[in-house]
Amino acid sequence: MTRIFLLCFGFFILTACATPPVIEPTAAPAGNYKLDPTHTSVVWSLSHAGLSNYTARFDTVSGALNFNPDTPQNSTVDIRIDPKSVNTGLPKFDEEIATSGKYFDADTFPEIRFVSTGITLTGEAAGVITGDLTLKGVTKPVALDVIFNGAGKSFGNPGKTLGFSATTKFLRSDYNMGHLVSFGIGDEITLRIETEFNEAQ
């Protein structure tokens, strides 16, 4: 009996996971969605003296999406990042750049936040999301190039799940984080985001 149960359960998982997402934004239900942190990656990189692109990530990300499939340009998104969750793979360096006044100064500025202000469609499943990025107490506009990967079923979530990929670039010196720029450490930050939003219940 146990073996039969496991076989049936395994078949259910495979069937659920094998269903391909629908890539048309109009196929997704309208309403509120919550960022799924277990399926979200926020990775940043900058030039290291022109020799390599130094890369790290943030581990603690939350956010909300109000999705309008009929007029996607009317959708809104609000993302929050804990700067103390920065992860370079070097714990001592993580603590330094998280708390130092030369870098994130997270004890003083405990949150990085992006709030959308507008969306321009550039294709059936692509667009540019403009918004205000607040980092280290400075708020400036940035533009994210976004791809809508699709709407589908994510195992363990009772509603629909929407998937997105996004990229943007900005200057860290614009946010009072220009330490070592004059020594060849890159000023331009490249941000890459992979994320899923689960339909709010």
pLDDT in tens, 160-171: 999 999 999 999
DSSP result, the chain? -HHHHHHHHHHHHHHHHHSPPB--GGGSPPEEEEE-GGG-EEEEEEEETTTEEEEEEES-EEEEEEE-SSSGGG-EEEEEE-GGGEE-S-HHHHHHHHH-TTTT-TTT---EEEEEEEEEEEETTEEEEEEEEEETTEEEEEEEEEEEEEEEE-TT-SSEEEEEEEEEEEEGGGGT--TTGGGTB-SEEEEEEEEEEEEP-
CATH of domain 2-199: 2.40.128.110
Amino acid at 113: R
pTM of the model: 0.88
- What does the domain layout of the chain look like in residue ranges? 2-199
Give per-residue pLDDT as tens, 64-107: 999 999 999 999 999 999 999 999 999 999 999 999 999 999 99
